[in-house]
Amino acid sequence: MSDCLLNIRPEIFPDPSPPDANESWNVQVFRSIDDASVVGFPSDPAVAARMGLMSGKDVTIDQSIHSAYVEAIRRAKRFIYIQNQYFFGSCASWKEDQDCGCLNLVPIEIALKIASKIRLGERFAAYIITPMWPEGEPEGDTVQAILHWNRLTMEMMYGIVAKAIDDAGLCGRAHPCDYLNFFCVGNREVQYPGEYVPPEPPERGTDYWRAQVNRRFLIYVHAKLMIVDDEYVIVGSANLNQRSLAGNRDTEIVQGSYQPAHLNGADGRARGLIHGYRMSLWYEHFMSHCKHLAHICLDPESVECVRAVREVAQSLWEMFVGDGVVNLPGHLLPFPIRVSESGELSELPVDGLFPDTKASVKGKKSEVLPPILTT
């Protein structure tokens, strides 16, 4: 099999930037892959362990994407910003379905990071953007099962944060959403004269018909990125679910990188290209019509920033679900849940359904599909 690999000649690569270059990058590549898909992994578990690999029954696994996310979360000091197609895991700490096999540690590491900061009396914020619902028919078994895992993950995380608030004696003065928030993105637009009209109108009463009448729709999130403290970024192909992070299922690759000249320190905050990347994403999501928030968004961990972002998202949600069709001035929407001071969840829509669908926001465990297909 090694004879099939491309022989890459080192001389074709450009010279690296000098270490003291102001805009240079340090980059590390991480993978989810096993010895069925790569040449050269050792079969001896002791040798594999020395190389940072994991060993299972007759398999050697590189799970370094999962390790990279966990390490970056543990090193975070101020905030975490995530955009990902999926976000669920840490099933051992869910209130049910702990045996579903979705064991990755990313969600609980974020919740425990927030809890530790609360107990230390320090600010920290996590912003997590996912699609309103995963790709597929929203009422279907697959999508509803994924939403079920997502719901259990959020319940677990908010429960940990709420307990930390209580332990710190902050009940009545702090809310779990002052630290942890889930968002999605959507759009709504009026119909202009001359717009294309399908020759066959959609069947009345269908999701498509309701979407056309109400002129609103989700914007699908397919990104897979995490920004930490505006100084470190992970981006690549891996979703934040068990399938991408296990190492012996889907094969994935990501890079984690930072600019040595643009790190947080005593002389100021990181203001390099990673900071610019986050600010440009936020500008597209909600700041283009809220330019007055730009200075607040320079400190995303502050409670002022968290509450301002939530307020903007809530105002956009009200326009998104309102009776009148309008051009939505921004795209950031709250994921449609309510969070109580005790960390309990309920649905934001009165009927518990996503707009223009008959799909439950909280999802439902499939009675047909085994968890390995949807985690």
**Exposure string over 234-247, b if 16+ CB within 10 A, otherwise e:** bbbebbbbbbbbbb
Dihedral sign of CA atoms 258, 22, 125, 318 in order: negative
Q: Which CATH number fits domain 21-373: 3.30.870.10, 3.30.70.2190, 1.10.1040.10, 3.40.50.300?
A: 3.30.870.10
Of residues 125, 124, 143, the one with CA closest to residue 134? 143
Q: Which residues of the chain register pLDDT less than 50? A: none
User: What are the start-end ranges of the E strands in the chain?
Assistant: 26-34, 54-56, 59-63, 79-84, 125-129, 180-188, 216-218, 224-228, 232-236, 252-258, 332-334, 337-339, 345-347
Phi-psi region of 363 (alpha: psi -120 to 50; beta: other; left: phi over 0): left
- Given this model, what pLDDT does residue 2 score? 57
- Given this model, what pLDDT does residue 21 score? 78
The residues, ordered by sequence, that sit 6+ positions from 45 with a Cβ below 8 Å of its Cβ are: 55, 60
- Given this model, what pLDDT does residue 220 score? 97
Q: Is 182 exposed, middle or buried (0-12, 13-18, 19+ CB in 10 A)?
A: buried
- Given this model, what pLDDT does residue 44 score? 83
Token output for 252: 């994935």
- Given this model, what pLDDT does residue 3 score? 63
Q: What is the pLDDT of residues 64-84, one digit of tens each?
A: 999 999 999 999 999 999 999
Q: pTM above the 0.85 mark?
A: yes
Token output for 309: 């972002």
Q: What is the pLDDT of residues 51-62, one digit of tens each?
A: 888 888 889 989
- Given this model, what pLDDT does residue 4 score? 61
Give the domain ranges of the chain: 21-373
- Given this model, what pLDDT does residue 8 score? 76
